[in-house]
Chains A and B, each alone.
Chain A
């Protein structure tokens, strides 16, 4: 495949999958600009080795991993730390009511942003992308047991934070 063939192939892939990759990056970064930058950087970096990536079988997995690497790399992490504030006042365990569901989803979204980045990536891959432990492990470059541990700890953190915030509201 010559340069133009590679470009056409990459363009076709972006047309089909670019939106999903952007959504994935946005859920990781919680920042539209950083998501767009991460995706563009990943695609540009992938271009010179695109044929090899395609031959490897799953460009999407490769690019998700690139986005995660960029997101969790030290120099990016050092630049900016989000300080999310979750207003989860009054959120009880009951989430059957549609209004409560939306409220708790908003609260979880904010709390997600406070998770360590590897945990957040694992959560997004599991609960948004629906990936298996093995797929998540491949993306995060860690073991399956680490994936399970990351997700378990993330859920525990979210559960505790929800409970803590509820207690704070009910305390004098």
Chain B
């Protein structure tokens, strides 16, 4: 290094030290970070995870970039092409075009509504395991004119590539015990979608942790926080979990979505203004092992400066209602309708709860 370089280096050190003083303050940094991790419900920053995830999606410019986890090295968050979204199911996440809808009839495709009422074909759809009518359709997939690209999550399956008529291909990949199948006639898109398959995280799952103690037992209650008014709520992460002992081993997160604006206000109003109490329950209708139901929903309500977790039980014969750690409330029709949006629509509930939606 030349003497001039030494002088420049010395000046550089001075410059950097002096200008480092212009850095943002670390006051509140821990709170903001922990709020975004959604693990400490009572220490809240405004960290809207939805905004983070949306930013990742919107700011992405090119092909999917996936980094390998290299032990202790930082792992770059995967970036989806613009106009794509993440779907999470039981510990895995995969990117799909935002234009794709929800609900896959699968082998029961021929039991769909009569042709006159049949909804327009979608470019694609995402399906999760659910009860379906056993219908003996003439083929595994609909005729060419009625086909949509279908991506399904399943807890069992057969890895491989299977060819169908008209150039349509069904490919199944497995990750951490979850079998993801894509049925498509677009080989490039199929490769691109399946190429995004990876373990999910709280960020990819829109603020929903893949694991949560609420799924492990009936004793869980959220950490109590200060009163939150519906008008303060800026976004809500809706996390649908299976009860851990109701699914094969692995993360119980079944689906996640995040809402903001009017939809967040509607959901927050429904959950925060429901009458105090519990139910409706129907304890006579269930065997003890099913009393609290096989699934539940956790809501993460986020205001500018804090957030609150609310547990919603609706699937059992007992224990139905909401709980924010301070106040238990009864389910209402407004709340059940507000929750009835894919992919986190309640998968099942008892008659007494279904009657709320009449």
Contacts and interface: CB of A to CB of B under 8 A. Distances in A.
Contacts of A65: 73-74
A104 B11 contact: yes
Contacts of B17: 128
Nearest to B211: A3
A128 B13 contact: yes
Contacts of A79: 59, 61
B30 A95 contact: no
Nearest to A22: B23
Interface string A129-141: 0000000000000
B11 A41 contact: no
B7 interface: yes
B261 interface: no
A44 B33 contact: yes
B39 A26 contact: no
Contact of B30 (A18, A48, A52, A105): A18
Contact of A32 (B24, B75, B203): B24
Contacts, number: 158
Interface string A87-105: 0000001010000011011
B8 A155 contact: yes
B114 interface: no
A23 interface: yes
A79 B21 CA distance: 26
Interface string A12-46: 00110011001111110000110110011111111
Interface string B171-191: 000000000000000000000
B76 A108 contact: no
B18, B73, B202 pick with most chain A CB within 10 angstroms: B73
Contacts of A168: none
Given A7-B40, A44-B203, A65-B73, A78 B23 contact: no
A158 interface: yes
B61 A75 contact: yes
B198 interface: no
Given A18-B30, A95-B7, A76 B37 contact: no
Contacts of B25: 19, 22
Given A101-B14, A159-B8, A35 B33 contact: no
Contacts of B29: 14, 18, 22, 39-40, 43
A104 B29 CA distance: 33
A95 B65 CA distance: 46
Contacts of A70: 76
A46 to B, nearest CB: 8
A44 B14 contact: no
Interface residues of B, number: 49
Contacts of A105: 11, 14-15, 18-19
A22 B37 contact: no
Nearest to A44: B36
B75 A45 contact: yes
A108 B12 contact: yes
A62 B74 contact: yes
B9 A66 contact: no
A3 B39 contact: yes
Nearest to A52: B72
A73 B76 contact: yes
Contact of A40 (B7, B11, B22, B47): B47
B36 A40 contact: yes
| Residue among B21, B32, B65 facing the most chain A CB atoms (10 A cut-off) | B32
A19 B7 CA distance: 28
A6 B209 CA distance: 14
A14 B31 CA distance: 10
Contacts of B16: 27, 109, 112, 123-124, 127-128
Given A40-B33, A45-B74, A109 B15 contact: yes
A75 B21 CA distance: 28
A81 interface: no
Contacts of B19: 26-27, 105, 109
A74 B8 CA distance: 30
A49 B37 CA distance: 12
Given A7-B34, A128-B13, 6 more contacts: A27-B23, A32-B24, A49-B75, A65-B74, A76-B59, A105-B14
9 contacts: A3-B39, A11-B30, A26-B22, A27-B16, A35-B23, A52-B71, A62-B73, A78-B61, A155-B5
